[in-house]
Chains A and B, each alone.
Chain A
Amino acid sequence: MPKYLCLQRGLPGGSQDGDKPSPSQMQAMYAKFNEWRDKFRDNIVDLGGRLASSRIALPEPAPDGPLVEVKELVGGYMIVSAATLDEAIEVAKGCPGLVHPGSGVEVIEIRSPG
């Protein structure tokens, strides 16, 4: 089955730091995440994680340009397997906390040779 890279991206205008969840809400998020993980156990290849700050290595030094901004927008990644892109999107969309008013998820097929 093809694999897909899922990148959590901040949406323009969406605020990243909304209200802090309360401990009870965090417990609910935790439970939801586990449910999601169990439901899509067969699809999840790598749960990935949050991404910290990055630097881009270029063939030659370049002034800070548009590329630099990209790193601010990617919050986390994971890899799922699915028969189709649509199915992969369904898996990613089901993941709690990934798609909400402040962010969306970009799902990219990872091409394998052959």
Chain B
Amino acid sequence: MTELGDNFFRHEYGRLVAMLSRRVGVHNVEAVEDAVQFALGAAVETWPRSNIPDRPSAWLFRVAHNYVLGELRRSAHRADLALQHHAHLEPHELDSPQVFLASDVRDDMLRMLFACCDDSLPIEAQLVLALKVLCGFDVREIAERIFVSEANVYKRLARARSRLREVDFELDDLNPSELASRVPAVQTILYVLFTEGYLSSHAEGAIRRELCDESIRLTHELAGHALITSPDTFALLALMHLHVARMPARQDGSGGLLLLAEQDRSLWDQKQITTGLEWLARSAQGEVFSRYHAEAGIAAEHCLAPSFAETRWERIVENYAFLEQLAPSALHTLNRAVALAEWKGPEAGLQLLDSLAPPSWLAGSYMWFAVLSDLHRRAGNIEVAKQHRASALGCAPSSAVQAALERRLAL
């Protein structure tokens, strides 16, 4: 056998870092990462010469485990300090065959994810840390994916790591109620990770898709964990699947962005839609209606509409209104105005926007001007529409967005 799954090394990296951090302490994460790097390197070197071992994951674990224990012993010896975790460092573990239950690995991954979501860290640092230790991207790859410089990634990572070094809890010590209290932070990071992929203007579709798939993978881990599973996590998962379903239709052949009304709905991934709707159905339990429920509800309406014109805009307006209450943002109001205009006409949308004082980040963005231009054009105010159109084109962040605007706002 010479075949390994796509992303095998990257996913093993995340699994191994999580498994070993749980065993030797999350404050040793750097030594753990070195050990995992070593084990993967050893695999590249030896597997083609012999063959892939029967249980490649167990092989990698054994090599990385031995390596990290050796390193920790050496550094403990150097520092002449007794290791806090000597109980974990007994060699008897090394010889026993390592077979891991999927549920244990899932638990390790989640605990590591929970450690990354430390609320004393800025969310940007949490995101970079999760991409590094759980998704197995290196600094260059992270920089490329989230559009920041490598130096910036290093900085965020250094901050996150120094925080982990001080962490005084062990992953094992996190009890169910502590885990539950961090669930919202974990959901946020998964949502941000997904959004990075979904909304990114990265030219390569494959790279955007990869981030979406990573966040879906980790959210499944969260949804599948018996102790901390909750309906809003199901809703989060539903919204991810329902958005990803439409990704194949969002770009034209040359990478340009296609608007919802222009998309070929036959390209939407029906399997993803089905999965998304299943999770949405499962999310409809309990007392809580979260922002993820509202967003998944909106995405579901789009997926279920046979055409743009046949969209149930009243449902979408309603969900945006919920979203505004749950997570107040002028952007949600803007979206509601767009849906309202489709439902009741452009004047209704403009009326709603009149009552909105946009914050500066929105008032200077192409989205704001684009909506104004479009609604004014449809209301017959051509001159006003022209002015807003010029402003929208001037604020477009990328040529793909600009091209989409030029089509959408044609007068």
- B1-48 interface with A by 8 A CB criterion: 2, 4, 7-10, 12-13, 37, 40-41, 43-45, 47-48
With A27-B7, A30-B48, A34-B2 as contacts: A22 and B138 at CB distance below 8 Å = yes
In the assembled complex, which residues on chain A have CB atoms less than 8 Å from the CB atom of B41? 21, 26
A26 to B37, CA, bound (A): 10
Q: Are B49 and A30 in contact (CB under 8 A)?
A: no
User: DSSP class of B's interface residues: helix, strand, loop or mixed?
Assistant: helix
The answer to whether A27 and B141 touch (CB under 8 A), given A37-B48, A50-B45, is no
26 interchain pairs, CB-CB under 8 A: A20-B37, A20-B138, A21-B41, A22-B10, A22-B136, A22-B137, A22-B138, A23-B10, A23-B12, A23-B136, A24-B7, A24-B9, A24-B10, A24-B136, A25-B138, A26-B41, A27-B7, A27-B8, A27-B10, A30-B9, A30-B48, A33-B44, A33-B48, A34-B48, A47-B48, A47-B49
Number of interface residues of A (CB under 8 A): 16
Q: Is A59 an interface residue (CB 8 A)?
A: no
User: What per-residue 1/0 map shows which CB atoms of A26-40 lie under 8 Å from chain B?
Assistant: 110110011001000
Q: Which residues of B contact A23 (CB under 8 A)?
A: 9-10, 12-13, 40, 136, 138
Q: Is B74 an interface residue (CB 8 A)?
A: no
B146 to chain A, nearest CB (A): 15
For residue B37, which residues in chain A have a CB less than 8 angstroms away from its CB? 20
B165 interfacial contact with A, CB 8 Å: no
| Residues of B41-64 whose CB lies within 8 A of A | 41, 43-45, 47-49
Verify if B86 is at the interface (C-beta below 8 Å from A): no
Complex: A37 Cα to B137 Cα, angstroms: 27
Shortest beta-carbon distance from A40 to chain B in Å: 12
**Chain B: minimal CB distance from A62 (Å):** 33
A27–B40 CA distance with the chains assembled, in angstroms: 9
Q: Is residue B140 contacting chain A, with contact meaning CB distance below 8 A?
A: yes
CA distance A47 to B48 in the complex (A): 9
Q: Cα distance A37–B37 when bound, in Å?
A: 24
- Of the four ranges (under 10, 10 to 19, 20 to 34, 35 or more), the interface on chain B belongs to 20 to 34
Q: Mark each residue of chain A from 1 to 35: 1 if its CB lies under 8 Å from any CB of chain B, else 0.
A: 00000000000000000001111111101100110
Whether A49 is near chain B, meaning CB under 8 Å from some CB there, is yes
Give the Cβ gap from A98 to chain B, nearest Cβ, in Å.
12
Taking a contact as CB atoms closer than 8 A, the residue among B44, B49, B137, B140 that contacts A26 in the complex is: B44
Report A34-73 residues with CB < 8 Å from chain B CB: 34, 37, 47, 49-50
A20–B40 Cα distance when bound, in Å, is: 11
Query: Could you tell me the distance between the alpha carbons of A30 and B56 in the complex, rounded to whole angstroms?
Result: 14
Please measure, in the bound complex, the distance between the C-alpha atom of A8 and the C-alpha atom of B237, giving whole angstroms. 50
Q: Which of A23, A26, A33, A34 has the most B CB atoms < 10 Å from its CB? A: A23
| Set of chain A residues within 8 Å of B9, measured between Cβ atoms | 23-24, 26-27, 30
Closest CB-CB distance, A66 to chain B, in whole Å? Answer: 30
B261 CB to nearest chain A CB (Å):
37
User: Please, which residues of chain B bring their CB within 8 A of the CB of A26?
Assistant: 9, 40-41, 43-44
CB distance from A107 to the nearest CB of B (A): 19
Which residue of A21, A25, A30, A34 has the most chain B CB atoms within 10 A of its CB atom? A30
B278 to chain A, nearest CB (A): 31
Asked if B10 and A30 sit within 8 Å, CB to CB, the answer is no
Q: Which of A25, A27, A47 contacts B4 (CB 8 A)?
A: A27
A20 to B136 Cα, complex, angstroms: 13
Once the chains are docked, how many angstroms separate the CA of A18 from the CA of B43?
19
What residues of A have a CB within 8 angstroms of the CB of B45 in the complex? 49-50
Q: A30's closest neighbor in chain B, by CB?
A: B44
Residue of B nearest to A49 (CB): B49
Complex CA–CA separation, A34 to B2 (angstroms): 7
In the complex, what residues of A have CB within 8 A of residue B10's CB?
22-24, 27
By a CB distance below 8 angstroms, the chain A residues around B7 are 24, 27
- Give chain A residues whose Cβ lies under 8 Å from the Cβ of B140: 22
